[in-house]
């Protein structure tokens, strides 16, 4: 944290590739909260009219990780950006398509 904003005051995005167990993910979220206390902005929610600007996020740390139904709530609470190639199951048990799959489908349709 001490070196995060030496080059720029703008937000730092910490991209986490999480292959930890549930217990270790909970522990990791506790470490993030402690280490980045005061630098983690409130969670972005769909109820927000718009996302904060980079100026509003100066000296803040944003956490990006894949989130699924099994991700512990402790980690979900501090996740600002969701990423990854995850595919979740719908209520019918079928795999849901992620955005990248949808984009590829559109490209194929346009080529035809």
Most confident of 18-27, 73-82, 91-100: 18-27
pLDDT for the residue numbered 51: 84
Residue scoring higher pLDDT (63 or 84):
63
Average pLDDT for the chain: 80
Which tens digit of pLDDT belongs to each residue from 65-81? 888 888 888 888 888 87
Q: What are the sequence ranges of the domains in the chain?
A: 12-85
CA dihedral 92, 95, 97, 100 (to 10 degrees): 170
In sequence order, what E strands does 1-112 have? 12-15, 61-65, 81-82
| CA-based nearest residue to 85, from 94, 75, 95 | 95
0.85 exceeded by the pTM?
no
């Amino acid at each position: 944290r001490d070196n995060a904003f030496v080059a720029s005051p703008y937000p730092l995005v910490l991209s986490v590739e999480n292959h930890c167990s549930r217990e270790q993910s909970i522990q990791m979220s506790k470490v993030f909260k402690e280490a980045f206390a005061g630098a983690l902005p409130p969670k972005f929610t769909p109820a927000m009219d718009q996302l904060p600007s980079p100026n509003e996020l100066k000296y803040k740390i944003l956490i990006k990780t894949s989130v699924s139904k099994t991700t512990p709530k402790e980690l979900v609470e501090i996740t600002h950006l969701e990423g990854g190639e995850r595919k979740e199951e719908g209520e019918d048990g079928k795999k849901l398509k992620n955005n990248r799959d949808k984009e590829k489908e559109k490209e194929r349709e346009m080529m035809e």
